[in-house]
Structure 1
Amino acid sequence: MHDGIPPHFSLRVRNYLNRRFRRRWIGRNGSHNWPSRSSDLTPMDFYFWGHMKELVYSEGEVETVEELRNRISNISETIRQNVNIFEHTTTRWVAACIHMNGSHFQHLL
């Protein structure tokens, strides 16, 4: 997979991918286009990390690295105890994927 980050998008890299994978690679301007800086198709990327970040910073700005670590630990424990959050995330992700017939569905989540 080719993620579209500038060093990965150079002509040299694209030529290598074309030779190595005979135009079967996924990436920006590849034979199978993929938006630059697009996340992978996982519930963790589409929901969980954004949700955790939102919770961490909902208490205001973080002043120190230690404070950030403590917030992340506390929120991780809260999320870990809420088993339904993972079921809900996966259900929404699968439903969106089916609705879009496997096409891009990031805008639906």
Structure 2
Amino acid sequence: MSDYGLPYRMPPRQPLIIIRCYPWVSRPPRPENFRQWVRFIGKGIAQSFRLMVGVQDYPNYVQHMRIHHPLQQPMSEKEFHRYCLNARFPSEAGKLGKCPC
């Protein structure tokens, strides 16, 4: 039997080509000595603990705004933390947010 003309027959798939993505922004240089590695790991651990307890990272927000939204003025640090608190613990009646427990 021939496969010619069957409506449900799919055309052969093209092989997938993996294209490596490169970031638009340059990464900080990789640590070279022990002291730089300790500082690099310490900053990562501190950021992780801050995010675990709900304190948002203002410098990352400013960097994101500078890269992705260059025409918009970023919030001040005080406004940013107030915005994060209102998003986490809404004070408006009827507005549901994340559970504070």
Q: What TM-score results when the alignment is normalised by the length of structure 2? A: 0.28
Larger radius of gyration: 2
TM-score of the pair, normalised by structure 1: 0.26
